[in-house]
C-alpha cells in the first residue's frame, strides 16, 4: 500500500513503524514535525497533514485510531472506546481510550499518553471484529464488558441502544449472560439484563423509563400507536399508562426547538387532548433527580383521575 492510500485509510495518521516500512527515515519524520507539517498525536503516531485539523478536529475516532496504531496490530479497542466505534450510545463521554493487548503482547510498556488505558482481557476470536482496519470487541462483548464496569443507568442505556439499533439481538442476551459468568459485578449485571428493552429509541427514553420503574410508576407499554375515535393514528407514545390515558415523552433539547417541529407538536398535542390523552414530557435534566419524574407522573395520574 502506498503512502497516500495508507494515510487516507487511517484517518490521516501514520505510525513510525509504517514510515520505516515505506522507506521514510526517522530524520525526515523529525524534520516534518519540526516544520509543523506533521503533528505528534501520541508516541510514534503522526498526523501527516496538520491542515486536516481545520476541517476535521481530533475526533474520538481519530484518537482511538492513534492508540491502536501506537500499540500495534494486536491491540483490540475495548469498553467505552469500542462503544464509540460501534455507535453504541448512553455512556458518559470521557477522554480515556481503552485498549486490550492479548496474551504475549500484554507486556508492561510506557505508553507516553495519560489517556491511553491498557487492559488485558481474555478474548476469544469470536469476541473480536474489525472496523475500518481497527480490531474492536464485538457489540455483544462490548456491552457485556461495560455492564460489569459502568453504573446501572449507563449499562441499561447502552444495552437498549444496541438492541434498538440491531447491533445485538434479543437471542444474544443469553450469550451476554455467559460472557459475564464468573466475573466481578456479574450478579448485578445479570439483573440489569432483565430490565433492558430495545424499544427505547434513545438513552433519554431508557433513563426516563428506569426512573418511572424505580419510582413505582412503571409504564404499561412503550412505543404505542395512539388512535383517535375514527381509528386514525395521531401519535406514537414513548411511554403509556393505559388506565390513566397518560403519555410520557422523552424530549431531546433539539427535537422540538425549531419552528416547524414546534408547530407539529401543537397539532399533535391538540389531537391527543381531543382524544382524551394527557402528555407529560421529560428532559435529560429531569432524569438526574431520582424523584422528579415519578412525581410528575403521579401528579398527572391524579389529574387524569379527576
Q: What is the pTM of this model?
A: 0.88
In DSSP terms, 46 is beta-bridged to 14, 40
Q: Which residues contact 93 (CB under 8 A, 6 or more apart)?
A: 60
Q: Which DSSP category does 49 fall into?
A: -
Residue 207: the pLDDT is 98
> Can you tell me the distance from the alpha carbon of 233 to that of 235, in angstroms, rounded to the nearest whole number?
6
Domain with CATH 3.40.960.10 in the chain: 203-305
Q: What's the CATH number of domain 203-305, 3.40.960.10, 2.60.40.650, 2.170.8.10, 3.90.100.10?
A: 3.40.960.10
> What strands lie across the sheet with 45-47, from one edge to the other?
13-15, 45-47, 39-42
Q: Which residues contact 278 (CB under 8 A, 6 or more apart)?
A: 244, 245, 246, 247, 272, 300, 303, 304
Nearest CA to 216 among 281, 297, 277, 303? 297
Q: Tell me if 15 sits within 8 A of 45, measured CB to CB.
A: yes
Residue 113: the pLDDT is 66
Residue 103: the pLDDT is 67
Residue 55: the pLDDT is 63
DSSP assignment string, 106-157: ------S-TTEEEE-----GGGEEEETTEEEE-HHHHHHHHHTTS-HHHHHH
Residue 153: the pLDDT is 98
In tens digits, what is the pLDDT along the chain, a chain of 306 residues? 789 899 989 989 999 999 999 999 999 999 999 988 899 998 899 999 777 666 667 889 999 999 999 998 889 999 999 999 999 999 998 889 999 987 666 655 555 567 888 899 999 999 999 999 999 999 999 999 999 999 999 999 999 999 999 999 999 999 999 999 999 999 999 999 999 999 999 999 999 999 999 999 999 999 999 998 898 898 999 999 999 999 999 987 554 444 455 546 778 888 898 888 999 999 999 999 999 999 999 999 998 765
Host H or E run for residue 45: strand 45-47
Residue 162's CB is within 10 A of a number of other CB atoms, namely 27
Rounded to 10 degrees, the C-alpha dihedral 134/140/144/145 comes to 0
Q: Is 236 helix (H, G, I), strand (E, B) or coil?
A: strand
Instruction: Count CA atoms closer than 13 A to 264's CA, side-chain side.
Output: 9
Q: Tell me if 47 sits within 8 A of 13, measured CB to CB.
A: yes
Residue 109: the pLDDT is 54
Rg of the chain over Cα atoms, rounded to whole angstroms, equals 24
Length of the chain: 306
Amino acid at each position: 500500500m502506498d503512502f497516500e492510500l495508507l494515510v487516507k485509510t487511517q484517518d490521516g495518521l501514520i505510525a513510525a513503524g509504517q514510515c520505516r516500512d515505506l522507506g521514510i527515515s526517522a530524520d525526515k519524520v523529525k524534520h516534518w514535525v519540526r516544520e509543523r507539517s506533521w503533528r505528534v498525536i501520541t508516541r510514534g503516531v503522526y498526523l501527516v497533514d496538520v491542515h486536516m485539523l481545520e476541517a476535521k478536529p481530533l475526533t474520538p475516532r481519530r484518537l482511538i485510531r492513534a492508540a491502536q496504531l501506537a500499540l500495534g496490530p494486536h491491540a483490540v479497542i475495548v469498553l467505552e472506546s469500542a462503544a464509540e466505534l460501534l455507535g453504541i450510545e448512553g455512556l458518559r463521554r470521557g477522554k480515556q481510550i481503552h485498549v486490550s493487548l492479548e496474551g504475549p503482547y500484554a507486556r508492561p510498556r510506557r505508553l507516553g499518553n495519560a489517556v491511553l488505558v491498557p487492559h488485558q482481557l481474555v478474548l476469544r476470536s469470536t469476541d473480536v471484529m474489525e472496523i475500518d482496519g481497527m480490531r474492536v470487541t464485538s457489540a455483544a462483548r462490548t456491552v457485556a464488558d461495560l455492564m460489569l464496569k459502568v453504573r446501572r443507568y449507563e449499562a441499561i442505556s447502552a444495552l437498549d441502544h444496541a438492541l434498538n439499533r440491531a447491533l445485538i439481538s434479543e437471542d444474544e442476551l443469553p450469550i451476554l449472560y455467559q460472557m459475564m459468568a464468573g466475573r466481578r459485578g456479574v450478579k448485578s449485571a445479570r439483573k440489569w439484563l432483565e430490565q433492558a428493552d430495545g424499544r427505547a429509541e434513545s438513552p433519554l427514553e431508557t433513563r426516563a423509563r428506569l426512573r418511572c420503574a424505580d419510582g413505582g410508576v412503571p409504564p404499561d407499554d412503550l412505543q404505542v400507536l395512539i388512535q383517535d375515535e375514527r381509528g386514525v393514528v395521531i401519535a406514537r407514545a414513548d411511554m403509556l399508562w393505559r388506565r390513566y390515558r397518560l403519555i410520557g415523552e422523552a424530549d431531546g433539547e433539539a427535537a422540538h426547538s425549531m419552528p416547524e417541529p414546534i408547530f407539529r407538536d401543537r397539532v399533535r398535542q391538540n389531537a391527543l387532548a381531543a382524544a382524551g390523552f394527557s402528555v407529560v414530557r421529560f428532559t435529560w435534566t429531569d432524569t438526574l433527580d431520582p424523584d422528579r419524574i415519578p412525581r410528575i407522573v403521579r401528579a398527572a395520574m391524579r389529574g387524569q383521575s379527576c
